[in-house]
Amino acid sequence: MIEPLLRITGLVAGYGRIEALHGVDLVVNASEVVCLIGRNGAGKSTLLKSVAGLVRPARGEILLDGEEITDWPVQRRARAGIATVPEGRHVFGPLSVHDNLLLGGHGQHGGMLAASLDDVYTRFPRLAERRHQAAGTLSGGEQQMLAIGRALMAGPRVILLDEPSLGLAPRIMAEVAEIVSALAGAETGVLVVEQNAEVAFRIARRGYLLERGVISASGPTRVLRDNARVRAAYLSKD
């Protein structure tokens, strides 16, 4: 049996005595974009942080390519190919676009580094045009592209994206959605957290609904879209 790229089983995690995830199972295969949707406080960021190694699970397992990484420190996971694009983007404002990308390519040299830069600039011509511009002066959408580009510099296997559409104008949101849906490759899978279900369904083929720390629905997004729980979660107000 071929192991999925990322497998999470029975994940229980939280902060001190607050348990935010109560036994989550989730799978991301290579070449797929998977969305995780849910309302404020459902535990979406906690799940991403657990995969990245920023939150230590109380129970459960996280496997990358069949290898258990549950207790690995952040840096080791990053080296193994887990890349995070955090909410709020966090580009280094005073540094140029180019230098921000170089920071993402740490550990690479020479030809490999040049090839990674080439790949990012080909994907994002807008970043190529602005390579000498200070990152802090980019538009919101461009900063999001830069944050994604920086994650790509490390040649990731699993890309974790936290709310990529947050705070973007609808037109830019559509552009970023298109970029994210094209990120998966033969050896790469994407897990994207979105509070905006419409955007999530546009980006991903498959998804999970997280409600109060429990996965309450999952499946192809074309089916999830009409799921009663999904509709209830998104039609009612917070």
What is the total residue count of the chain? 238
| C-alpha–C-alpha distance, residues 219 and 94, integer Å | 42
Q: Which one of the spans 41-49, 78-86, 89-97, 128-136 is the region binding ligand ATP (CB under 6 A)?
A: 41-49
Q: Which CB atom, from 108 or from 216, has the smaller least distance to ligand ATP?
A: 216
Taking CB under 6 A as the criterion, which residues in 8-37 touch ligand ATP? 15, 18, 20
Nearest one of 40, 53, 33, 75 to 183, comparing CA atoms: 33
Count the residues of the shown chain that bind ligand ATP, applying the rule CB under 6 A.
Answer: 12
Instruction: Supply the minimum distance, in Å, between the C-beta of residue 58 and ligand ATP.
Output: 13
Torsion of CA 168, 171, 176, 179, to 10 degrees: 180
Residue 200 burial (CB count, 10 A): 28
Binding mask 180-219 for ligand ATP (x = CB under 6 A): ---------------x------------------------
| 40 is a site residue for ligand ATP (CB under 6 A) | yes
Residue type, position 236, single letter: S
Using the rule CB under 6 A, which residue among 4, 11, 34, 46 binds ligand ATP? 46
| 75 is a site residue for ligand ATP (CB under 6 A) | no
User: What angle in degrees, to the nearest 10, is found between the helix axes of 110-123 and 140-152?
Assistant: 150
| 88 is a site residue for ligand ATP (CB under 6 A) | no
Q: β-strand 189-194 against 33-37: which pairing, if any? A: parallel
Instruction: Supply the minimum distance, in Å, between the C-beta of residue 20 and ligand ATP.
Output: 4
Using the rule CB under 6 A, which residue among 11, 27, 44, 204 binds ligand ATP? 44
Q: Which CB atom, from 57 or from 155, has the smaller least distance to ligand ATP?
A: 57
| C-alpha–C-alpha distance, residues 132 and 134, integer Å | 7
Phi, then psi, of 162 in degrees rounded to 5: -105, 110
Please give the residue ranges that form the binding site for ligand ATP (CB under 6 A): 15, 18, 20, 38, 40-46, 195
